[in-house]
């Protein structure tokens, strides 16, 4: 059962920006960590950014300095601001929540540590 809903994907040219949102459900309202992942066909899902309840964030090297994760915990919404988009940012983007205290923000998010997922939103970057 899907408990998260992403939005904001679309098509953009290289160098452009997009902002993704992820609305949670009552099941994820008290998540310990929330994160963004992305996946392209034929490749493993990549954790790109995570944030904990205290607002501490961590990023994968591939997006550090270009993407910003933030959360509105009161309204159970997760955001991802993506700037300076590159061709290899093209992917399906997923949000995830950890409600069992499995995840942390010591490093980029790990798929197995998140127990709630959205269906994804597609981001296409073209030249």
| Token couple for 96 | 């995830």
What's the rounded mean pLDDT across residues 10-22? 98
Is pLDDT of 72 > 70? yes
Which are the contacts of 64, defined by CB distance < 8 A and separation ≥ 6? Answer: none
- Res. 109: pLDDT tops 80: yes
Residue 122: which residues within 8 A CB-CB, separation 6 or more? 9, 10, 91, 92, 93
**HEC letters along the chain:** CCCEEEECCEEEECCCCEEEEEECCHHHCCCCEEEEEEECCCCCCEEEEEEECCCCEEECCCCCCCEEEEEECCCCEEEEEECCCCHHHCEEEEEEEECCCCCCCCCCCCHHHCCEEECCEEEEEEC
The predicted-structure confidence for 29-65, as pLDDT tens digits, reads as follows 999 999 999 999 999 999 999 999 999 999 999 999 9
CA 97, CA 126: separation in Å to the nearest integer? 30
Q: For 77-102, what is each residue's pLDDT tens digit?
A: 999 999 999 999 999 999 999 999 99
């Amino acid at each position: 059962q899907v408990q998260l809903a992403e939005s904001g994907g679309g098509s953009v040219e290289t160098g452009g920006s997009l902002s993704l949102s992820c609305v949670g459900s009552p099941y994820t309202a008290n998540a310990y960590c929330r994160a963004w992942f992305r996946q392209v066909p034929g490749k493993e899902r990549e954790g790109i950014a995570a944030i904990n309840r205290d607002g501490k964030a961590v990023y994968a090297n591939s997006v550090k300095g270009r993407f910003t994760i933030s959360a509105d915990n009161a309204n159970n919404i997760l955001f991802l601001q993506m700037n300076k988009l590159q061709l290899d940012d093209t992917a399906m983007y997923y949000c995830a929540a950890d409600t069992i205290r499995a995840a942390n923000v010591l490093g980029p998010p790990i798929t197995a540590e998140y127990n709630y997922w959205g269906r994804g939103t597609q981001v296409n970057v073209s030249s």
